[in-house]
Amino acid sequence: MTAADNDVPVLVLFRNDLRLEDNQALLAAQRTGAPILCVYVHETEGGSAFRPLGGASRWWLHHSLAALSAAIANKGGALVLRSGRLVSAIEALIAETGARHVHATRRFDPAGRQADEELADALAASDIAFERHDGFLLHDPSSIRTSSDRHYSVFSPFARKLIPVIQDAQPEANDGPFHFFDPPQSDDLSTYGFLPTSPNWAAGFAPHWQPGEVGAQKSLERFLTDALDDYATGRDRPAVQGTSRLSPHLAFGEIGPRQVWRAIETVGPQKTGRDVTTFQREIVFREFAWQLLANRPEMTWDNIDGRFDRFPWDEDPNGAPLRAWRKGRTGYPIVDAGMRQLWQTGWMHNRVRMIVASFLTKHLMVHWKRGEEWFHDTLIDFDPANNAFNWQWTAGSGADAAPFFRIFAPVTQGRKFDSEGNYVRAFVPELAALPAKFIHAPWEAPDDVLSEAGVKLGSDYPRPMVDHSVARERALDAFKAMKGD
């Protein structure tokens, strides 16, 4: 399309790329010289893989779309909102505007791929171009293959092959010009019901987060300035701001991985090499998880290691053990602090995510799918690839998974990574007055210490719902039986 097609817009379909900078779909549309119509479709239905957004993701999406809308308005345009099935919404906009070209960022999740293929077929039948661009990942998951032309299922060789490919990744600034099409009718964002009201369980989110592209850049700058220097060790301490907190911004595409990678590479020479490479390894893990999902879409609902189909999981979606875990009432302070942090802020420290996942799948032997479902609903940074990969990794059923016998001891983990107990104090206030010596195992405290701290075990705070040693042996016995040992 050329500038001569002055009355015909090019559609830019935003979805997991809610930013203006380094947005290849938007930049490609700008290069045509035609007027641009910016669109977001809230997909409320789809194919067999369709999964509605979780509650916490909906909260973030509301504020991210508001931020994107304001950014586009600041450039002289408007973001048009529509809802329904993707193909129906886009066909309606094409009929209203006469558009003959649609640009979008490529998606790799099962539901997104299904919807995009349906859209591509419909648009091709009408001789309308649908161009999909890279940008959500640093690489196309189909491009990194083993010598036998298979996808990678082990991280280390994947990383060795990917890093040289992405080493020189360069984001592309968007300096305009912006030439927008007069927008048709748009839905009112508030009518989508993304924000909870009765009750407003997300009330605690806002003090911790700034959704949107500006917030993403602030998070990146804070990390580079305040946390990267000690990232290799600081990332494991949940009581400090030792992580990037970029995960929700990456999940919604408010910042692109090329922008993050290049920023790290730029400041790298001024930082400790181990801190830089440790963080870059986490970015590569994100790529690995998405490569797996693109090639194994069933990993969000099936065990990758089929032997675990025989494991005696508790699959009750409303069982008492699962309910206690969700509420942060297991009797293990580090587990309960993590689950309450999740509920209060929509996010949980990564070290603690591993601890609570290990506890659910191995101490309680509840199926990892129940945990995956809870995280899907309660995480603001929900990412289908990372979420499924990490749950299966911890449970032992995934690709390149942790050995099943690696069962985190909650007390040991708490004392090692929250030695002063400040993380527990922040989210389990009923234990705040306990000395550090006992805060991760209050049942070990003498009666006078409990009394002085105002703690009544069994009423103010629960006793451990399972004994660690007993639960560990039970899980290992079940694993041996599953293997046929």
Residue 244 counted as an annotated binding residue: yes
Residue 58 counted as an annotated binding residue: no
Residue 14 counted as an annotated binding residue: no
Cross-strand partners of 461: 457
Residue 7 counted as an annotated binding residue: no
Residue 43 φ/ψ, nearest 5 degrees = -80, 115
Residue 279 counted as an annotated binding residue: yes
Beta carbons of 181 and 75 less than 8 angstroms apart:
no
Side chain identity at residue 49, one-letter code: A
The token duo for 109 is 């999740």
Residue 243 counted as an annotated binding residue: yes
Could you write out the three-class secondary structure of the chain? CCCCCCCCCEEEEECCCCCCCCCHHHHHHHHCCCCEEEEEEEECCCCCCCCCCCHHHHHHHHHHHHHHHHHHHHCCCCEEEEEECHHHHHHHHHHHHCCCEEEEECCCCHHHHHHHHHHHHHHHHCCCEEEEECCCCCCCCCCCCCCCCCCCCCHHHHHHHHHHHHCCCCCCCCCCCCCECCCCCCCCHHHHCCCCCCCCCCCCCHHHCCCCHHHHHHHHHHHHHHHHHHHHHHCCCCCCCCCCCCHHHHHCCCCCHHHHHHHHHHHHHHCCHHHHHHHHHHHHHHHHHHHHHHHCHHHHCCCCCHHHHHCCCECCCCCHHHHHHHHCCCCCHHHHHHHHHHHHHCCCCHHHHHHHHHHHHHHCCECHHHHHHHHHHHCCCCCHHHHHHHHHHHHCCCCCCCCCCCCCCHHHHHHHHCCCCHHHHHHCHHHCCCCHHHHCCHHHCCHHHHHHHCCCECCCECCCCCCHHHHHHHHHHHHHHHHCC
Residue 310 counted as an annotated binding residue: no
Residue 116 counted as an annotated binding residue: no
Nearest to 104 by CA among 84, 92, 119, 124: 119
Side chain identity at residue 273, one-letter code: G
16-48 b/e with 16+ CB inside 10 Å = b?
bbbbbbbbbbbbbbbebbbbbbbbbbbbeebee
Residue 462 and residue 472: Cα distance in Å, rounded? Answer: 20
Residues in binding site: 231, 243-247, 279, 381-383
Residues in binding site for FAD: 231, 243-247, 279, 381-383
